């Protein structure tokens, strides 16, 4: 008998994937005690896009959300997703900021940090790992799964070995695009089990429709944990349904032990929340459809929608399939990175530029140049030297860990928010999203003082930007 453990994603990836991360804390709180008693291995509730969305769209302090969740969930581990040296922002941060962020995240309630790098460059996660281990948290290192000539079983086995040697407590196969097939997982999981002695967790999305079958084959192949979302926020671009996977494994050697009566109660709570997103247009029904192009072109669903948006703006939807065919060529030129934030957006945009200009790399985005300069780290395959030279000229590319070139910045950031800081964590909010956080601080102070944050007088007060 081998009980399969479940990580519930409804509080993070479930609504991030389907509803643009717009679920409010007040919509979570009433059901937390029931979720705490459900028997989950962990509840993913923070990280990813939740931090940005709280500040930018929901008028919420993300740190306060975490503390509230921790107060209500006393028995189940709280889990977050962290993009290595990028933390939850969109650039590499200095080591002192990374270490402080990890310290505060754990102090405010996080038990498990799922850490990944878009290029699977472990140099970009070592500071986070070291800080998390020092604070006593569980470190789960995630490999960004993709396909291509470089991504052999030997590659994944070596990456897993390196992760274990770095100090990982568990590993995650992070299939962000939903392209991991049942046949591939039945080979990958045993290979990883042969390479390491760590628990292995499987994370996928239903974008292509095959994730539930992949999960079952992964469990049969030796996977220890799977990510699922309660049914109102499952399927489509989200994860397989918690109830469905629990029922699928019921009575087998892999029975999760989760009770359908408890899961039904949790689902009943989130169903009207989902309906609200349907009503206001936040949740587009298309997000729940199966898109086999994900498998055909190895392109994540979110990347596809971004391409469509770019082409519509240029009145060039007739170039859609030409762009799709260009994507793997650009990806090869840029070292064949996994297509996950930020590489998916960069590769997709460059493919659009190549097609619309009629000449490959006639116009090159700044982000493409940054990849070719080495600003994001080391890719699994070398760059196209001709394209790299066109991008950076005679400049020497970065070969060291990119964060090694960053000076400590925590002290400067702390000074920038003096007079506006209400908690130590405000420095970190400002570090990740300076303009967004500054505006949030202004509006928060206005509410505390009973002042309309949109009034002219209050707008004249100086705030850090």
In angstroms, rounded to a whole number, what is the distance separating the alpha carbons of residues 72 and 82?
Answer: 23
b/e for 345-383, b at 16 or more Cβ within 10 A? bbbbbbbbbbbbeeebbeebeebbbbbbbbebbbbbbeb
Q: How confident is the model at residue 2 (pLDDT cuts 50, 70, 90)?
A: confident
**Three-state secondary-structure class, residue 145:** coil
Output DSSP code: residue 176.
Answer: T
CA 322 to chain centre: 28
Kindly report which listed range (88-102, 109-123, 304-318, 325-339) carries the lowest average pLDDT score: 304-318
CATH number of 299-399: 1.10.472.90
Higher pLDDT, 293 or 394: 394
At residue 272, the pLDDT reads 98
Cβ pair 204, 178 in contact under 8 A: yes
Write the pLDDT tens digit of every residue in 375-398. Answer: 999 999 999 999 999 999 999 999
Strand partners, 13: none
At residue 342, the pLDDT reads 81
Write the pLDDT tens digit of every residue in 295-305. Answer: 877 777 667 76
Cβ pair 245, 215 in contact under 8 A: yes
At residue 464, the pLDDT reads 41
For the question of whether the overall pTM of this predicted structure is more than 0.85, the answer is yes
Q: Superfamily assignment of 5-285 in CATH?
A: Aldolase class I (3.20.20.70)
Q: How confident is the model at residue 294 (pLDDT cuts 50, 70, 90)?
A: confident
At residue 301, the pLDDT reads 66
Residue 215: CB atoms within 10 Å: 28
- Which secondary-structure segment (H or E) carries 47? strand 42-47
**Three-state secondary-structure class, residue 367:** helix
* For the chain, domain boundaries: 5-285, 299-399, 408-449
């Amino acid at each position: 008998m081998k009980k399969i453990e479940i990580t519930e994603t409804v509080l993070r990836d479930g609504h991030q994937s389907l509803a643009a991360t717009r679920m409010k804390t007040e919509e979570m709180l009433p059901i937390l005690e029931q979720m705490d008693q459900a028997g989950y291995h962990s509840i993913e509730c923070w990280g990813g896009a939740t931090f940005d969305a709280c500040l930018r769209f929901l008028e919420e302090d993300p740190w306060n959300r975490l503390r509230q969740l921790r107060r209500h969930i006393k028995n189940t581990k709280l889990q977050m997703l962290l993009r290595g040296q990028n933390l939850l922002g969109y650039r590499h941060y200095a080591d002192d900021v990374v270490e402080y962020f990890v310290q505060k995240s754990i102090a405010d309630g996080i038990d498990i940090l799922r850490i990944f790098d878009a290029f699977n460059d472990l140099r970009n996660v070592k500071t986070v790992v070291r800080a998390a281990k020092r604070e006593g948290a569980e470190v789960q290192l995630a490999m960004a799964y993709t396909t291509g000539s470089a991504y052999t079983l030997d590659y994944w086995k070596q990456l897993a070995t390196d992760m274990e040697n770095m100090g990982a407590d568990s590993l995650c196969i992070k299939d962000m695009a939903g392209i991991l097939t049942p046949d591939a997982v039945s080979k990958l999981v045993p290979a990883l089990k042969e390479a390491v002695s760590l628990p292995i967790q499987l994370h996928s999305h239903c974008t292509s429709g095959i994730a539930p079958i992949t999960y079952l084959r992964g469990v049969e192949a030796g996977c220890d944990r799977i990510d699922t979302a309660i049914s109102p926020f499952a399927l489509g671009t989200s994860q397989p349904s918690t109830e469905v996977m629990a029922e699928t494994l019921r009575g087998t050697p892999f029975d999760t032990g989760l009770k359908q009566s408890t899961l039904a109660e949790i689902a009943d709570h989130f169903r009207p929340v989902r309906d609200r997103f349907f009503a206001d247009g936040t949740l587009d029904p298309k997000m729940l459809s199966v898109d086999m192009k994900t498998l055909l072109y190895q392109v994540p669903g979110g990347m596809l929608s971004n391409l469509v948006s770019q082409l519509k703006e240029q009145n060039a939807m007739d170039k859609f399939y030409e762009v799709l065919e260009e994507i793997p060529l650009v990806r090869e030129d840029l070292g064949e990175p996994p297509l996950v934030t930020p590489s998916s957006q960069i590769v997709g945009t460059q493919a659009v530029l190549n097609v619309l200009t009629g000449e490959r790399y006639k116009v090159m985005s700044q982000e493409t140049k940054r990849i070719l300069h080495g600003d994001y780290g080391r890719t699994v395959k070398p760059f196209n030297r001709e394209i790299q030279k066109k991008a950076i000229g005679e400049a020497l590319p970065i070969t060291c860990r990119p964060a090694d070139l960053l000076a400590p910045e925590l002290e400067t950031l702390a000074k920038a928010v003096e007079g506006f800081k209400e908690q130590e964590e405000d420095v970190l909010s400002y570090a990740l999203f300076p303009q967004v956080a500054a505006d949030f601080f202004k509006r928060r102070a206005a509410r505390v003082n009973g002042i309309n944050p949109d009034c002219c007088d209050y707008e004249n007060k100086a705030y850090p930007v």
